[in-house]
Amino acid sequence: MSSSNWVAIVSVVATSLATGYSTYSNNKSNTDLENAKQEHVLSVEKTKQDNLISLENAKSARERETFLQTKKLEVRTQYCNEAKSIYKELGDAVVNSKDSNFAVQAAASKLVSKLSIQALAYLDNSISENYTKQTKSSKTLDNSVIVGALATQVRRCAAMVPSDA
């Protein structure tokens, strides 16, 4: 074989190898680029999902807080309504306990005892402490003091705003 044939063979083989390597390198680059694109798409999707989860958590926390505030207000309103009712009943019973009619007086006195105990449960701590201080030195319970304490509680309820609940 002549040297020109060898040159041609080497040239063909070199060209084939270069073309093969170029094709391999191009395919590898395309694969790497495709993988990078997919990783980016996954990263963007994960970020979107994380943001959506954060948004849903924030909405849920806000709705929960609103629900709790509403429930607190409902409970406080019910509490205040019951305190008003006890105040009215207790005031009437105290007045009736001084009635000259013995039957009215006896029934009212029993009711005063029952309602006085119930009224104490409806006093806020500061009002209850004030009532306790006022009645500490007294040997007998003054029904007008508990009525006054309950009236203070009812006034506090009337002045209540939603943020106090």
Q: What pLDDT digit, counting tens, does each position of 15-31 carry? A: 888 888 888 888 889 99
> Token match 């509403």: residue?
70
Is pTM beyond 0.85 here? Answer: no
Residues whose CB falls within 8 Å of the CB of residue 118, separated by 6 or more in sequence, listed in order? 86
The domains of the chain are located at 3-164
What's the DSSP call for residue 12? Answer: H
pLDDT tens per residue across span 40-86: 999 999 999 999 999 999 999 999 999 998 888 888 888 889 889 98
